[in-house]
Amino acid sequence: MTNKSFTLSDRLYNYVCDVSLREPPLLRQLREHTAKRDDANMQIAPEQGQFMALLLQLMQARRVIEVGVYTGYSSLAMALALPRDGRILACDINPETAEIARSFWARAEVFDKIDLRLGPALATLDAEVAAGNAGGYDFAFIDADKTSYADYYERCLALLRPGGLVAVDNTLWSGRVLDTHSDDEDTSAIQAFNNRVAGDERVDICLLPLADGLTLLRKR
Ligand code: SAH
Ligand code: CA
């Protein structure tokens, strides 16, 4: 299980959900639909979706980037929190999972808020910078291939306005970040990313031990 806060006991996790989780019916249905897949642990935790929605509301965000859509849970959670004119630039390479995402976005009536770009996210983000949209975004969520995290971070930082926020998922990597002798390239990439942002003076930082670790980086 990487999609629930692994530092909590099951009982305490259930308590947290009992007293604070307000998962909208369509998000719950999408979670149940995705649970039948054997890669379902890629989906964010429901309390994490609710937290990101709260962040967007606090920031009064209107322009959002998502890197890593999968079956669309995190984008749907964010789209529901955006105002009517809010938009998400959503990047993924998998047309099969994107089709599931699209059908749930349509059912939730947020389809028009989400601009899905199928293709390598780095190319999409570079095109967005080249189109003159640097500084035009409020929030970015990074949750795709871990070996590209550093590249996604640089592009997202360029695309955010000052005061904008990057949220980076899986930064505790089920605790494997502690394994100093790992030969797994995803683990090494996340360790390198964490070490790099630790001293990055361009941002304010908080590594929140929520779900599998969510690092928040506020552009100064
Ligand atoms: N945020 C999603 C989970 C994302 S899982 C949720 O809440 O459900 C990671 C996703 O990254 C997968 O869907 C995968 O297809 C995508 N991905 C992997 N490499 C990518 C790349 N180079 N460009 C864009 N997306 C990529
Ligand atoms: Ca993730």
| Cα of 139 from ligand 2 centre, angstroms | 17
Query: 């080249």: which residue's tokens?
Result: 130
Q: What's the pLDDT tens digit per position in 121-160?
A: 999 999 999 999 999 999 999 999 999 999 999 999 999 9
Angle between helices 25-35 and 46-59 (to 10 degrees): 140
Angle between helices 149-159 and 185-198 (to 10 degrees): 40
Does the beta carbon of 3 lie inside 6 Å of ligand 1?
A: no
Q: Among 143, 147, 149, 168, which is best to mutate for testing ligand 1, by the most ligand atoms less than 8 A from CB?
A: 143
Which atom of ligand 1 sits closest to the CA of residue 39? 5
Burial 19-42 (b: 16+ CB within 10 A, else e): eeeebbebbeebbeebeeeeeeeb
> What pTM does this model have?
0.97
d(CA 115, CA 117): 6
Burial 102-130 (b: 16+ CB within 10 A, else e): bebbeebebeebbebbeeebbebbeebee
Per-residue pLDDT of the chain (220 residues; tens, 9 = 90+): 455 666 789 999 999 999 999 999 999 999 999 999 999 999 999 999 999 999 999 999 999 999 999 999 999 999 999 999 999 999 999 999 999 999 999 999 999 999 999 999 999 999 999 999 999 999 999 999 999 999 999 999 999 999 999 999 999 999 999 999 999 999 999 999 999 999 999 999 999 999 999 999 999 9
Does the beta carbon of 50 lie inside 6 Å of ligand 1?
A: no
Q: Among 93, 104, 156, 168, which is best to mutate for testing ligand 1, by the most ligand atoms less than 8 A from CB?
A: 93
Does the beta carbon of 42 lie inside 6 Å of ligand 1?
A: yes
Burial bucket for residue 169 (CB in 10 Å: 0-12, 13-18, 19+): buried
